[in-house]
Amino acid sequence: MSPRSASVNEELRRRSKERLLQAAVELVGEHGYDATTLGDIADRAGSARGLVSYYFPGKRQLVQSAVHRLMHRTLEEALEREPRTTEGGERMARAVDAILGLARDRPVLMRQHMAGLLQAEVGFVPCPEQRRLAELLRDTVARHGSKDVDRDYPMLRALLMGAVFAALVPGVPMPVPRLRAELFERYRLDWDMGVPPDAEAPDGTTCDTDLSRFFATGVLDQPDRTAQSK
């Protein structure tokens, strides 16, 4: 058997990383952060445990990257769903609803994510997943009419994080519709934009236990060995 090419090896490594990200999101969402070990994540992903430390410095960094992946892909899906739109107000409404929807539909996962951001030893970890989330939110702010995206993007990020935190505080959570109303008022959005709480959710905006569409973990196509041997 001939050795795999460098490109095939690189694709296999990439898909191994994707499986680790997906497994982290699933397990933390099911059991919480403390009850999930790196070994659990590796086992769910079907990967060698040494691969986790190869790709990520630790569990907190892995989980934060995994949640940022889920966030940016959820946001991207909401922004680009049919009917497609370039209208700034509608895109801002979709962004608000996408992030609040994660707090509503995946409270365990998002509560653990918020707690992780406040850990002094790790805190906020810049990574490709986070940068893609930032790009989408910056674009949303720009399309909404901002004249200073560098000023207005951090404010939108802070308001969304604050709303998620408020929705998830144990014992005294604020209702998501109330938080939505406050954000919609601030950004001067009509209530029927985005996905109103009392409206039928469009495809792709409800909680789905199958997260595979957010992670490129498909089976790698292998060369036809029979053809090669001829």
SS3 annotation, 188-216: CCCCCCCCCCCCCCCCCCCCCCCCHHHCC
Please give the residue that has the higher pLDDT: either 80 or 14: 80
Is the model's pLDDT at 227 over the cut of 70?
no
Instruction: Please list, in sequence order, all residues whose beta carbon lies within 8 angstroms of the beta carbon of residue 68, skipping any fewer than 6 positions away.
Output: 127, 129, 130, 132, 133
Say if CB 135 and CB 157 are below 8 A apart. no
Question: pLDDT value at position 1?
Answer: 52
pLDDT interval class at 197 (50, 70, 90): confident
The amino acid at 11: E
Is the model's pLDDT at 94 over the cut of 50?
yes
pLDDT interval class at 50 (50, 70, 90): confident
Phi, psi of 147, deg, nearest 5? -95, -5
Lowest mean pLDDT among 56-65, 128-137, 206-215: 206-215
Chain centre to alpha carbon of residue 227: 41
Two structure tokens written together for 140: 């949303």
Q: What is the percent of the chain with per-residue pLDDT over 70, rounded to a whole number?
A: 84
Question: pLDDT value at position 121?
Answer: 75
pTM of the model: 0.85
**Measured distance between the N- and C-terminal CA atoms of the chain, rounded to whole angstroms:** 14
Chain centre to alpha carbon of residue 132: 10
Question: pLDDT value at position 16?
Answer: 87
Is the model's pLDDT at 6 over the cut of 80?
no
Question: pLDDT value at position 103?
Answer: 96
Characterize 151-175 residue by residue with b for buried, 16 or more Cβ atoms within 10 angstroms of its Cβ, and e for exposed. ebbeebbebbeebbbbbbeeeeeee
For the chain, what is the radius of gyration of the CA atoms?
20
pLDDT interval class at 198 (50, 70, 90): confident
Mean pLDDT rounded to a whole number for the chain: 87
